[in-house]
Chain A
């Protein structure tokens, strides 16, 4: 097999198919010889990992749907039946539950990696924007899915979150009734949530396809943030990155298996094993950990509409990141000041996660307001100004030049 993008096939069957539907040429071009920057570090593993995680979720979900009953009187019991009576039903369900947490963890790392290395800058603005869109659909899907077991937290999370639309001026109340299919969260809500929870992962899948299409058009960014200039800057995707990704997948599966088999309910709320009861409100209504930063932002504003707007703005702001960051230098590695502010943002995001889990009272509200304020200041003030005031370090001329220089330094040491 040649290493050129369009090989000449010798096998007659392959030749026959490929001439009519060039699937073999496409795989050869995009998966095997695909030229990838040779200097990608392990932070670049999280993209392919997110894709595989999505596949695990879709597969386990399809099997769960075969036994799940979307009905207010039967949903909770049908899940207990999956756990007790269906062969290895507990395994499939625990994989599905815990992989969601893994998915969000991996995607958060993937997003922040993109922020650090400037992966949103030209010509990758659309690639980045599609990614943000994927995240938004993920959030919707995860929320819908959490409602399906019809436990106490399912029901009350659904009530709290769908009630947010009542904040919309004039039509808010009607919008809520339209969403619920009734006058509160009930059987009609559960059924439509199930339908949409089955639909949206395939929407994500389609968006991932667009994400990859854009990626393979602009090619991967890399830790240096310098565009690929010559063949010496790259390595073929296979076997170099297939093997590196396989190793990363092994580590991720180890972490997943540890929770699935030994602490399967670790990320769950105990109270969600109490069947939904519209007459009893839980003491603390807390979303899953991966929503906590945005939950903290929602609660930072005493005004309902203001909180909702701010929460959506906190994600929507990622869309215009390419406009907000005025620096000409892509990688954070050559931006001595940006580097610090990046890590402060990460700390702020983790702090917001912590605050989201705390009761909305006293000092937690004040701290939530400061942390929310800083979050927006980072994107709206610090990033645009840094581009003007920061003096970046010299950027290497090419990837291969930087790699060679690194080797010389090692040899000299």
Chain B
């Protein structure tokens, strides 16, 4: 029993170290704290809000899609966020995709189908760079997994633009100057981001009537990108809850049985 307590203490200590580690790494960054949001998908009981994801898809198609791809994703995936089979067919058909070669050896364009990958904005990286001042707009389908802070980071970045370089940056580095063609973003590493501010009042009307303020759009599209990065999240957490409950009960039984077997052996 004494060692059991010892092992448990050591485990708690290790867990403490593990949880403290990322904070230690994050210290020293010269960015304001992330605009942390309450997300429906957080925690052990987290789920996605379908209406929010659909609004996020509207923001993606109206704003992000012209420069950013959603690699590894297909129109059929949209059924997961509550669109019906017919609606997905309709959404897919509004895009053109290249197919072929046909019997004449020619490539041809046709309306996209649910089984097609979501259309990429550029044919290749070279043309993407040409159109965007020398940088390729990153793929968004793993973005919340690929940045510390996840959806909170995406949300903060989208709302983190400043018209001029703020005082706190100049205090830290009086020589800071924004390169031509770049915008200032408080959350972007190095502050100089190639993407200009995108979310403004009145650029979009949501089909469900929700007022499309920049905050609302940032929140919806961040949630949508979280889903794009972790489409398995709901299944994962549901299964996880069953597994944890089972393991707690089973391990408790094992402990009781172990005590029973060992009762005369100590």
Contact = CB atoms under 8 A, between A and B. Distances in A.
**Contact-residue size bin, chain A (C-beta under 8 Å from the other chain):** 35 or more
B258 A273 contact: no
A252 to B, nearest CB: 10
Given A43-B7, A80-B72, A357 B21 contact: yes
Given A261-B240, A403-B266, A80 B145 contact: no
B254 A42 contact: no
A243 B25 contact: no
Contact of B236 (A91, A105, A274): A91
A305 interface: no
Contact of B72 (A42, A84, A264): A84
B44 A262 contact: yes
Interface string B233-266: 0001101110110011011001101100110011
Contacts of B147: 270
A358 B27 CA distance: 10
Nearest to A243: B258
A357 B25 contact: yes
Contacts of B248: 254
B17 interface: yes
B207 to A, nearest CB: 27
A240 B258 CA distance: 8
Contacts of B25: 357-358
A170 interface: no
Contacts of A38: 265
Question: Could you tell me the dominant secondary structure of chain B's interface residues?
Answer: helix
B3 A43 contact: yes
Contacts of A169: none
A295 to B, nearest CB: 14
B247 A264 contact: no
A394 to B, nearest CB: 21
Contacts of B265: 38, 235, 240
A274 B24 contact: no
A381 B10 CA distance: 28
B262 A251 contact: no
**For the complex, would chain A's binding face be called helix, strand, loop or mixed by DSSP majority?**
helix
Given A80-B142, A235-B265, A257-B247, A42 B6 contact: yes
Nearest to A266: B18
Contacts of A255: 11
Nearest to A46: B7
B232 A261 contact: no
B236 A270 contact: no
Contact of B232 (A45, A83, A250, A254): A83
A81 B248 CA distance: 32
B160 interface: no
Interface string A281-298: 001000001000000000
Interface of B: 2-4, 6-7, 10-11, 14, 17-18, 21, 24-25, 44, 71-73, 138, 141-142, 145-148, 150, 189, 229, 231-232, 236-237, 239-241, 243-244, 247-248, 250-251, 254-255, 257-258, 261-262, 265-266
9 contacts: A80-B71, A80-B141, A246-B254, A250-B254, A253-B247, A253-B251, A254-B248, A265-B145, A289-B21
Given A45-B7, A257-B247, A262-B237, 13 more contacts: A83-B232, A84-B72, A90-B232, A91-B236, A91-B239, A94-B236, A243-B261, A246-B254, A257-B240, A258-B244, A270-B145, A273-B145, A289-B18
